[in-house]
Amino acid sequence: MSEIITQHFRHLWEQEFKNTQSVLAVIPDDQMAYVPFPGAMSLRRLTLHIIGLEQQFILGVKNGEIVAGSSRRDIAELQTAAAMAAHYQAQHEAFRPIVDGFDDEFLSRTVVFKTPTGEVLRQLPGTDFLFTVLLHHLIHHRGQLLTYLRLLGVKIPGLYGPTRENTPGAAD
């Protein structure tokens, strides 16, 4: 049986992990409380949400059930970007054997997404949750994080190519 879908997910998951780690590396610790507008997540809260997505969706797909909001946890000891990056690295390495155990047949089974009270919000194949809800959701929130950082004047890394900050002669 071909494992093209699973192999493709593994490749993208590793690529997006590296991209996220490069963003975590430039977060200024003295700006963790930064909120760009009332009601927005703080820089720290958004970063915790981003690194929590991996746990929520990989374990959820493995177990066949994802609970909405379970990525929004606070980990009190993660107060610095370096601590968050180290936690994310360890978490990613711990989840690698789980992801390596996935195959196309396993990922085609239905996974339930529900509220903390048990109300079923949707049911989709595991592949949909890994590609759309994990990877796209991660990329979306990482883009928000990059916007926060740019508003703070941080030189942001190029993820898919150069940024204006690291391109000589780029227009503002």
Q: Can you tell me whether residue 113 is helix, strand or coil?
A: strand
- Is residue 77 within 8 Å of residue 93, measured between CB atoms? no
1 has a pLDDT exceeding 50: no
Domain 4-166 top-level CATH class: mainly alpha
Identity at 24, one-letter amino acid code: L
Q: What is the sign, positive or negative, of the torsion defined by CA atoms of 100, 106, 109, 114?
A: negative
pTM attached to this predicted model: 0.91
pLDDT in tens, 155-171: 999 998 888 777 776 65
pLDDT in tens, 117-168: 999 999 999 999 999 889 999 999 999 999 999 999 999 999 988 887 777 7
Q: What is the pLDDT of residue 113?
A: 95
Mean pLDDT in the chain? 92
Domain boundaries, the chain: 4-166
